[in-house]
Amino acid sequence: DAGVIQSPRHEVTEMGQEVTLRCKPISGHNSLFWYRQTMMRGLELLIYFNNNVPIDDSGMPEDRFSAKMPNASFSTLKIQPSEPRDSAVYFCASSLKGGGTGGYTFGSGTRLTVV
Partner 1 sequence: AQSVSQHNHHVILSEAASLELGCNYSYGGTVNLFWYVQYPGQHLQLLLKYFSGDPLVKGIKGFEAEFIKSKFSFNLRKPSVQWSDTAEYFCAVNGGNNNDMRFGAGTRLTVKP
Phi and psi angles of residue 42, each rounded to the nearest 5 degrees, phi first? 70, -145
Phi-psi category of 103—alpha, beta or left, where left has phi over 0 and alpha has psi -120 to 50? left
Closer residue to partner 1 in complex, CB, 40/62: 40
Cβ–Cβ under 8 Å, residues 53 and 72: no
CB of 91 to partner 1, least distance (A): 6
Q: Which of 26, 75, 91, 112 touches partner 1 by CB under 8 A?
A: 91
Residue 42 binds to partner 1 (criterion: CB under 8 A): yes
Stretch that binds partner 1, among 19-27, 60-68, 69-77, 92-100 (CB under 8 A): 92-100
- The CA-based angle 10-11-13, given to 5 degrees, is 160
Pairing of strands 19-24, 5-7: antiparallel
Q: Which residue from 8, 12, 17, 43 is in contact with partner 1, where contact means CB under 8 A?
A: 43
Residues that bind partner 1 (CB under 8 A): 31, 33, 35, 42-43, 45, 48, 50, 55-56, 91, 93, 95, 97-98, 100-109
